[in-house]
Chain A
């Protein structure tokens, strides 16, 4: 692995994991139980950083998608894919974490609350972007479709963020420094920074994987548009070894 992008990506992943682990450790073993939620409130130290990071990577994907449309450069296409995939993984994780948190606090695994519903739509929308990308073979068409679909899916990001303000929601409002004690803000901040750095590393690695795949695809020889059909009744068109064998 000699690629600077891959090496930087791995360094970010290791540093991010260390910071995330430190934040989680403080949140699990040093911070006090939350006043109402008790120990279950410790899930917020993993849930909130995951949510913040997911939305940030979708913003990165949005910017990369605009760059991809604007310039047509393959690097932007790969970066869009990397950011969308990391953001989607994090969004599925935050849905699972939220569901685990909801069971003891709301007495249900899932409810069609505005924040939960818009988050599920977000995961589905960007999941479709990744799926669609796999289904298009032509590189230029795939790059344009990925960028356009990413921009369309991004429309849901501000809706997710403001859903707790726009509609009556079971989900609590965004946590701020003013809404929590510093002993709880520290693990949240450290874990959020760690998740962002780790996610950046994963995005760089995924971008490199996509660049390698795109380069390999560009170097592959052109296949004929349609394969010649095998005709057993025509010796000129069939496999001569077949005739010898029979």
Chain B
């Protein structure tokens, strides 16, 4: 198709990959032992 940008899957994977990595990493920081319950409980 005229004018359509060719390729670019690397940009697509980068955007999706960074998003999922950050969100999963953030989730892990929230469920680390001791964060959702008081220490010693």
Show the binding face of A for B, using Cβ within 8 Å: 1-3, 6, 10, 13, 24, 28, 33, 35-40, 42-43, 46-47, 50, 89, 92-93, 96-97, 100-101, 103-105, 198, 202, 205-206, 208-209, 212, 215-216
Contacts and interface: CB of A to CB of B under 8 A. Distances in A.
Nearest to B8: A40
Contacts, number: 91
Nearest to B35: A209
B15 A36 contact: no
Interface in B1-41: 1, 3-9, 11-12, 14-16, 18-19, 22-23, 26-27, 30-31, 35-39
Interface of B: 1, 3-9, 11-12, 14-16, 18-19, 22-23, 26-27, 30-31, 35-39
A43 B4 contact: no
Given A40-B5, A212-B38, A93 B30 contact: no
B33 to A, nearest CB: 10
B5 A47 contact: no
Question: Which of A93, A100, A216 has the largest number of chain B CB atoms within 10 A?
Answer: A100
Q: What's the dominant secondary structure at chain A's contact region? A: helix
A2 B38 CA distance: 11
Given A93-B22, A198-B23, A36 B5 contact: yes
